[in-house]
A and B are shown apart, each in its own frame.
Chain A
Amino acid sequence: MERSLICEIVTPERIVYTNEVRMVVAPTIDGEIGILPLHAPLVSALRPGEVRVRYGDNDSEVEWFAVSGGYIQVHEDKVIVLADHALGSSQIDVERARQALAHAQARMAEVGDGTDESGELANELKWAEAQVAVAGKHR
C-alpha cells in the first residue's frame, strides 16, 4: 500500500468531500499546486477554480470540484480545503452556472472596471466559470 493523504473539502455549510486520496491539485493565487503524500506543511490562499482529487492508482480515478476560492492547509498528510462554496462535478447545475456567468458578464460590461461592484463581480464570474469548466469534465 502506497502512502496516501486524507483530503477534506469543507464549506461553512457542510463537508463536501472527505476521503483517502493519492493526490490533490488546487488553484492557488500564483498558479496551481499539486500535493502528494509527505508534502511539507503549507497554508495557501486559493483563487476560484478547480480542485482535482486523484483517489486511485488509475489516472482516470479523478474527482473534480469547483471551488470559489478560500484556503488550503496541508499538515502531516492531511489536506484541508476551506472554501466559501464548493461543488463536486456531478452536483453542479450547469444551466444555472451558465446563467450566472452570462449575468455576471453583462453586469461587468455595465459597471465597468475599478468600482466596488466590479471586484465582487469578478469573483462571481470566476466562480461561475469554474463551475462550467468542472461540469464539462463530468462523465
Chain B
Amino acid sequence: MPNLRDIKQRIVSVHSTRQITRTMEMVATAKIKKAQERIEAARPYAMSMMEVLGNVARFAKGASHPLLLKHEKRERVVVIACTSDRGLAGAFNSNIIRLAEDVARDERAAGAQVDFVTVGKKAISYFRYRGVEPIAVYRDISDKPTFADAKSIAAHVIPGYSADDIDAVYIVFNRFKNVAEQKPEIHQLLPIEQAVMSEASQDVAASGVSAEYMFEPSPESVLELLLPTYVETLIYRALMESAASEQGARRTAMKSATDNASDMITTLTRSYNRARQASITQEIAEIVGGAAALEE
C-alpha cells in the first residue's frame, strides 16, 4: 500500500511540472505568431526579387554563371542543418538531424566528402559528440534569424562553389506548414536549378509585361549580383520557417505534456483517495475489533 504522504508529494510535483509546460505552451503560441509575421514580412522582397530574376533571365538567356553550372564531379558536398538552440520541442531537432545524416550517408556512399554547416545548439552538440566538426556553427540565431545571418551562412558556401571546391549544397530545415504541422525538408541550394530561371522568366512572360528592359551595367552583371542574393534569400526563408516551426513543434509537445500531466494528476488523486479510504476503513476495523475484544 503506497504511503499517503508519498502520493501527495507526487501530486504536488506533477502539478508544478504541469504549470511549467502550460506556460511554455502559451509562450510558444505567442511566438508562433511573431515568427509567422516575419515570414509574411519577407514575402514582398522575395516576390520582387523573383520578378527581377525573371526579367534578367529573359534577357540573359543562356548566360552561364558559376552558380548555375552543375559540376561534373561530386567530391565535396555541404549540408546546412537548421535546428534550434533549445530542446523540449518534440521530434523537431531529431528529424532534422536524421534527414541530414541520411543525405550524408548517400553522398558518402557515392564517394563524396560531406561537411556540415550547423545552425542551432542541438545540431552543434550532436555533431561534435559524434566527432564531426562542422565547418561553421551558428548559435543564438535560430530564434530570430536576420538577413545578415543568412548572408553570413551563404558566404561559407558560395565562394567555395564558384571556386569548384564544393560540388553541391543542401539545406535541411523544418517547413512550417501550419501551427500544428512541420515538415522536415531538404532543398538543393547549389547549383541553382536551371528550372528556377526558366520558371521565373515564364512567370514574368505570363504576367503580360514584355517590356524591353534596360540593364545597367548589363544583364550578365546584374545576374551575377542577383544569383548570390537569390541563394541568401532562400537561406533566410529556411531559417525563418525553421524558427516558426520550432515554436509550433514546442507548442504541440508542451500541449501533450500538459495533457499527460493532467491525466496523471487524475490517476494519482484517485489512488490518493483510495489509500486514504483504506486507512480509514482499517482504523475503523481496528476500533471495532478492539471494542469487540473488550466486550468478551
Which residues of A does B touch, CB under 8 Å?
A: 8, 10-15, 28-30, 33, 40-45, 70-71, 73, 75-76, 80, 82, 84-85, 116, 120
Contact = CB atoms under 8 A, between A and B. Distances in A.
Contacts of A10: 44-45, 48
A71 B214 CA distance: 13
Interface of B: 38, 41-42, 44-46, 48-49, 51-52, 55-56, 146-148, 150-151, 155, 159, 209, 211-217, 221-222, 225-226, 229, 232-233, 236
B151 A43 contact: no
SS of B interface (majority): helix
B216 A80 contact: no
Contacts of A120: 155
Given A43-B214, A43-B222, A71-B226, A15 B44 contact: yes
A73 B51 CA distance: 9
29 contacts: A10-B48, A11-B147, A12-B232, A12-B233, A13-B42, A15-B41, A15-B44, A28-B216, A29-B217, A33-B216, A40-B212, A40-B214, A41-B211, A42-B214, A43-B52, A43-B222, A44-B215, A45-B217, A70-B229, A73-B51, A73-B55, A75-B211, A80-B52, A84-B147, A84-B148, A84-B151, A84-B229, A85-B147, A116-B159
A71 B225 contact: yes
Given A29-B216, A80-B48, A82-B45, 5 more contacts: A10-B44, A12-B147, A13-B147, A15-B44, A75-B211
Given A10-B45, A84-B151, A45 B213 contact: no
A12 B217 CA distance: 24
